[in-house]
Amino acid sequence: MKQKLLVALCCATLMSCAQQPASSPLDFDRFANDWWEKVGQVQPNTKSGLPDMSAAALEKAHKQRLQLIAELNKTNVSHLTEQQKINFAILQYRLQNDIDEYRFGAHYMPLTAESGFHSDVLFMLNMSSVKTDKDIQTYLEKLAAVPTYMQQQISWMQQGLKTGYTQPKAVLAGYEDSIKSFISNDPTKSPFYRPLLKQPAGIDATRWQALQQQAKTLISSQITPVYQQYLDFFVGQYVPGARDNIAAVALPDGAAFYQNRLEHYTTLKMTPQQVHDIGLKEVARIRAEMQQVIDKTGFKGSFADFVQFLRTDPQFYVNTPEQLLKEAAYLSKKIDAQLPKLFKTLPRTPYGVEPVPAEIAPKYTTGRYSGGRVAGDPGFYWVNTYALDRRPLYELEALTLHEAVPGHHLQVALANEQENLPSYRRSFYTSAFGEGWGLYSEYLGLEVGFYQDPYSNFGRLTYEMWRACRLVVDTGMHTMGWSRQQAIDFLAQNTALSMHNVTTEVDRYISWPAQALSYKLGELTIKRLRQKAETVLGDKFNVREFHDAVLSNGSVPLPVLEQQIDLYIEQAR
């Protein structure tokens, strides 16, 4: 899940909350809950709800956050209850990230190799339901605000060109296609028109036609032109002026920036070299396991020969998007039935299987979890159906367990349903915990009868290897002088990922520094804590109770998780 600087906080709100130090548990609850509730009610642009990305708004928000975190840090943590200490850590983590992103110029680069503000705005607009006349009017107001939002972001990219804050040229090839997908002479073909395709009950035909016409006019006269403006700027100015060096350390204050992102995404105090060394060790271990699986298949040839066989043999690929989606849905239901063996508590919120939206699919990762957009909505397991000859079936079991259950959907839905936690805890997500849990969930498939086919087991291992390689190539490219091709070669030589996935993944790491480190480091932490619990508790260890202990507090930084598992072990003894 990406973290971006999207909200400007209300000065009056923060001041009213920050007048009294949080010196006792009662003070802290009032400080934290009142502040978060009021912030949640404040829109950065009261008319449209879209973020105000103007320089004045961002600077004002930054000063307010500095003021708020100074007040938060006055809290005497030793006086807090165990749960309040977690609340404090999460509030501090969320605030500090917003402060750091502004300090390191995240607003100068509002895009990654996968997506950017031009596609994110579509999801922001679709957050609200469109079922009544009032809903549609609100949606049209948001549409009218899109051009201003787009122009603000283009302005930041222009300033980024002047100051050296740009994405590298190497990751931008083909990116313009995702912008073009928003441009059409027919407004009804625009992604922004989708909510107007189906007439809601309760709106008569005449009124519906009038609302549709308003949307068509807005799209034709305002939205399509601003997307054309962005396309022209991107192709004509941004790509030619983008930096050639792919390393994060090449950015202004780049070494400090990468270290900051490493610590944010992993929630651990580590150096790039330490992460790199762990990656190399994991690559060697997993490579040995992969060879054992190859030997069991009876394949005659080298590791590279086997990988080439997997990448090219038709038996591992489907012919239609529907076939891939149906296979993913089948695997989803198959693992659903096994969950009681692993968990005492299961979420009530359902999930579905959907394709990755077509406008972002070509540069997008192989799959992702998309949480419910509003309370009560289901989650969705997104499967990328673009370029089917690059979506092998032998990876699908691991992907499904990671993105659906027992991975992201189970973890996120359980957190959302924890009514005893404050709202800022239920909605909190940190990559180290969430992605670490997702990778650990792939491993759990072994314990409930998945990966019976040696090829799917190799797919599981190639996914684990993929995450181990990230530790090597991300730190290598951003701090050790590795080239993009060197990273591509390393990933291609050690995994069975398709070459399309290899290149899109490497570009993702280049454009989103350090985020990819969170998966493996999070998984290693969860596995280490489980081993600790099994060793200490012996016959008293119960995997269902352990998983309850891991998930019961929602997403938390890894040091907090370790503290909570230590408490669980003591109580279980």
Q: What are the structure tokens assigned to 404, written together?
A: 């659906």
182 within 8 A of 118, measured Cβ to Cβ: yes
Percentage of the residues of the chain whose pLDDT score is greater than 90: 77
Whether pLDDT at 67 is above 90: no
pLDDT at 376: 72
* Residue 275 bridge partners (DSSP): none
pLDDT at 501: 87
pLDDT at 427: 87
Distance between CA atoms of 468 and 521, rounded to whole angstroms?
9
Whether pLDDT at 2 is above 90: no
Phi, psi of 441 (to 5 degrees): -65, -35
**Coil, strand or helix at 457:** helix
Distance between CA atoms of 402 and 458, rounded to whole angstroms?
16
pLDDT in tens, 429-467: 999 999 999 999 999 999 999 999 999 999 999 999 999
pLDDT at 41: 44
* Mean pLDDT of the chain, nearest integer: 91
pLDDT in tens, 295-345: 999 999 999 999 999 999 999 999 999 999 999 999 999 999 999 999 999
Whether pLDDT at 12 is above 70: no
The CA-based dihedral angle spanning residues 344, 349, 353, 356, taken in that order and rounded to the nearest 10 degrees: -110
Whether pLDDT at 239 is above 90: yes
204 within 8 A of 241, measured Cβ to Cβ: no
Distance between CA atoms of 68 and 31, rounded to whole angstroms?
10
Distance between CA atoms of 540 and 537, rounded to whole angstroms?
5
Q: How confident is the model at residue 474 (pLDDT cuts 50, 70, 90)?
A: very high
Distance between CA atoms of 309 and 11, rounded to whole angstroms?
60
379 within 8 A of 412, measured Cβ to Cβ: yes
pLDDT at 10: 36
Q: What average pLDDT score do residues 527-540 get?
A: 98
Least confident of 36-45, 185-194, 308-317: 36-45
pLDDT at 127: 57
Q: What average pLDDT score do residues 166-187 get?
A: 96
CA 168 vs CA 45, 142, 253: distances in Å? 32, 32, 16
3-state secondary structure 290-352: HHHHHHHHCCCCCHHHHHHHHHHCHHHCCCCHHHHHHHHHHHHHHHHCCHHHCCCCCCCCCEE
Query: In this structure, which long-range contacts are made by residues 59-65, counting pairs with CB atoms below 8 Å and at least 24 apart in sequence?
Result: 60/8, 60/11, 61/7, 61/8, 61/9, 61/98, 61/102, 62/98, 62/99, 62/102, 62/103, 64/9, 64/10, 64/11, 64/14, 65/9, 65/95, 65/98, 65/99, 65/102
Least confident of 94-103, 394-403, 483-492, 540-549: 94-103
Q: What average pLDDT score do residues 560-564 get?
A: 97
Distance between CA atoms of 393 and 404, rounded to whole angstroms?
16
Describe the crossing of helices 117-125 and 133-163 by its angle, rounded to 10 degrees: 160
Whether pLDDT at 40 is above 70: no
Q: What average pLDDT score do residues 85-91 get?
A: 93
229 within 8 A of 117, measured Cβ to Cβ: no
- Residue 189: how many other CB atoms lie within 10 Å: 12
- Residue 245: how many other CB atoms lie within 10 Å: 14
Whether pLDDT at 21 is above 70: no
pLDDT at 497: 87
Q: What average pLDDT score do residues 280-286 get?
A: 98
Q: Which residue has the higher pLDDT, 16 or 274?
A: 274
Find the distance separating the first CA and the last CA of the chain, reported in whole Å: 36
Q: 352: buried, middle or exposed (CB in 10 Å: 19+, 13-18, 0-12)?
A: middle
pLDDT at 72: 85
Distance between CA atoms of 251 and 168, rounded to whole angstroms?
10
Q: How confident is the model at residue 124 (pLDDT cuts 50, 70, 90)?
A: confident
pLDDT at 23: 54
Whether pLDDT at 498 is above 90: no
pLDDT at 16: 36
pLDDT at 1: 38
Q: What are the structure tokens assigned to 283, written together?
A: 């690559």
pLDDT in tens, 363-374: 788 899 998 655
Q: Concatenate the DSSP letters of all residues of 95-159 into one string.
A: HHHHHHHHHTTGGG--B-SS-BHHHHHHHHHTTS---SHHHHHHHHHHHHHHHHHHHHHHHHHHH
Q: What average pLDDT score do residues 392-399 get?
A: 97
Q: What are the structure tokens assigned to 162, written together?
A: 């002047």
Least confident of 70-79, 242-251, 334-343: 70-79
119 within 8 A of 178, measured Cβ to Cβ: yes
260 within 8 A of 100, measured Cβ to Cβ: yes
- Residue 158: how many other CB atoms lie within 10 Å: 14
> Cα-atom radius of gyration of the chain, to the nearest Å?
24
Q: What average pLDDT score do residues 85-95 get?
A: 92
pLDDT at 8: 33
pLDDT at 500: 87
Q: What are the structure tokens assigned to 43, written together?
A: 């829109």
Nearest to 170 by CA among 116, 111, 243, 110: 243
Q: What average pLDDT score do residues 494-499 get?
A: 90
pLDDT at 295: 96
Alpha helices in 357-452 (DSSP H): 396-403, 408-416, 423-426, 431-444
Whether pLDDT at 42 is above 80: no
Alpha helices in 164-223 (DSSP H): 176-180, 205-218
Whether pLDDT at 266 is above 90: yes
